[in-house]
Amino acid sequence: MTGLFDLASPLLTALDRSLAPLIPPAGRLAVWGLVAASLSMALYAVLSPQQRLREGKAAAAEARFALEAYEGQLKDAMPLIVQVQKRALAQLGLVLGPAVLASLPILFMIVWLSGAYGHFIPESVASVRLSVEPPGMIVRWLSEAEDRWAVGSDAAVRIEVSDPDRQMVERVELTAAVTSLHKRRWWNLLIANPIGYLPPDGALERIEIALPRQDVLGFGPDWLRGWESVFFTALVAASLGIKAVFRLV
């Protein structure tokens, strides 16, 4: 079952693959940042009452100026302070709803990017650390020699979990680069796990898979090399540019 924020992923994957021969990963992430910013700011411009926001911004500036110019006692300045706060809250009330709705294109993009550019399954998974909840169970990568499912499928990557008596509890095929497998939770209505879920009535609660992260930049510290730095830099820069060009409030 697909989650709500996964609905755009097939389309985004197809578009990304069509750009792959022309643009390297970092360049594609910059493009996606620009696309997300354009969609988000366009939606905000349509949904937000720009004229009322401009009038409210001017009124808020007047209230702040009046407070800054006041030189009397603090107790007599309370009406001015209240006015400044009322103007600020009025502006917040006008932008809150449109801003939340305008963030939806970015959420769809982030969910897709975290799967497409987050981690990868290496050619040899022997060194990839596995852990399970509850502790005490035995988890390991299943070799093709042991795996009766692997016949004719050289791409099979599977995990086996056994109890302390070596009785098999669960066997999972890793068909996507996910780092956690668990029982279905309510939030999976929004973001689904592409390889499915553990049985709801089973003893096994979670499998953690320490897959390596994808590097899209070949320089800098580890936190800079992932998809987040390129995408969010492009997103913020494009959003500020669009806001300035179209004078959005």
Rounded CA gap, 249 and 244, in Å? 9
DSSP codes, 153-177: -TT--EEEEE-TT--EEEEEE--S-
Burial of 154 (0-12, 13-18, 19+ CB in 10 A): exposed
State the Cα angle at 138 between 133 and 142, rounded to 5°: 115
Low-confidence ranges of the chain (pLDDT < 50): 150-153
Structure confidence at residue 151 (pLDDT): 46
Ramachandran region of residue 106, left (φ > 0), alpha (ψ -120 to 50) or beta? alpha
Rounded CA gap, 137 and 127, in Å? 19
Distances (CA, A) of 197 to 179, 193, 201: 13, 7, 11
Rounded CA gap, 163 and 171, in Å? 12
pTM: 0.86
Structure confidence at residue 148 (pLDDT): 52
Q: What number of other Cβ atoms are within 10 A of residue 44's Cβ?
A: 22
pLDDT digits (tens, 9 = 90+) for 79-101: 888 888 888 898 889 999 999 99
Nearest to 213 by CA among 115, 78, 80: 115
**230 close to 39: Cβ distance less than 8 angstroms:** no
**25 close to 225: Cβ distance less than 8 angstroms:** no
Ramachandran region of residue 72, left (φ > 0), alpha (ψ -120 to 50) or beta? beta
Number of residues in the chain: 249
**246 close to 47: Cβ distance less than 8 angstroms:** no
SS3 at position 96: helix
Structure confidence at residue 152 (pLDDT): 47
Structure confidence at residue 65 (pLDDT): 86
Q: Is the dihedral of CA 40, 98, 100, 233 positive or negative?
A: positive
